[in-house]
Amino acid sequence: MTYDISIIRPEMHHDDVKLRGRDYPAERRREIRKGLQTLHTMEVMAVNIYKSQIGPKPCALNTQLSAALCNELTHMQDFLTKLFEFGFKPSKLRWTYWLVGYVFGLSSRTMGEAVILKTAVWTEEKAIAHYTKLLAGVPWDEETQSFVEKDQADEIGHAERWRELLRDRSSTC
């Protein structure tokens, strides 16, 4: 399935939010919970990386980072909503990933544009690998699977964008 990755915040209606999976066997629920907690936690980290990489100067890189931040915030909300739809809670350890994201983002920003872009590529490649593993290994329901696939497509688009900017490097801040 192909997804339009130019859409940063897909439209969502009130009726799209519903109770899910309460009748699933315990093992399936456990796998879904672990998958959703992993994805939510990784998105928390990505949000803080981008938030910390955005500098004060008006430039093309900061605009691209802001768009990526908005998209990652959407992913974080997607998985938080899905956790609650299934009756789960976010991981209690997500604060550690919040902190790691802040450190990666702020340290890369202090080292310059090339390191910002390399960190962004590395982060997105890790996200793509997580998504691939979880898409293959978790017994998602059809609607949740669609969310995971769309968010993975966004991550692939981000990685390509950062690689292109790294090659071009004409958008110096």
The pLDDT score that the predictor gives to residue 169 is: 74
Residues of the chain with pLDDT under 50: none
The pLDDT score that the predictor gives to residue 168 is: 86
Check residue 153 and report its DSSP letter.
H
17 within a domain of the structure (yes/no): no
162 within a domain of the structure (yes/no): yes
The pLDDT score that the predictor gives to residue 170 is: 64
87 within a domain of the structure (yes/no): yes
Tokens of 62: 């900061």
The pLDDT score that the predictor gives to residue 43 is: 96
Q: How far is the C-alpha of 60 from the C-alpha of 161, rounded, in Å?
A: 12
164 within a domain of the structure (yes/no): yes
Strands (E), 20-161: none
121 within a domain of the structure (yes/no): yes
The pLDDT score that the predictor gives to residue 154 is: 96
Per the listing, tokens 């949000």 go with 47
59 within a domain of the structure (yes/no): yes
Neighbours of 141 (CB within 10 A): 15
Check residue 14 and report its DSSP letter.
G
Tell me which residue range forms the domain holding 107.
Answer: 24-168
The pLDDT score that the predictor gives to residue 2 is: 85
Q: How far is the C-alpha of 115 from the C-alpha of 125, rounded, in Å?
A: 15
Counting the structural domains of the chain, the total is: 1
- Asked if residue 104 lies in contact with residue 119, where contact means CB atoms within 8 angstroms, the answer is yes
Instruction: Report the CATH number that the domain containing residue 32 is assigned in CATH.
Output: 1.20.1260.10
CA angle (155 as vertex; 151, 160 as ends), nearest 5: 145
128 within a domain of the structure (yes/no): yes
The pLDDT score that the predictor gives to residue 1 is: 66
5 within a domain of the structure (yes/no): no
Helix (H) or strand (E) holding 90: none
Q: How far is the C-alpha of 141 from the C-alpha of 86, rounded, in Å?
A: 11
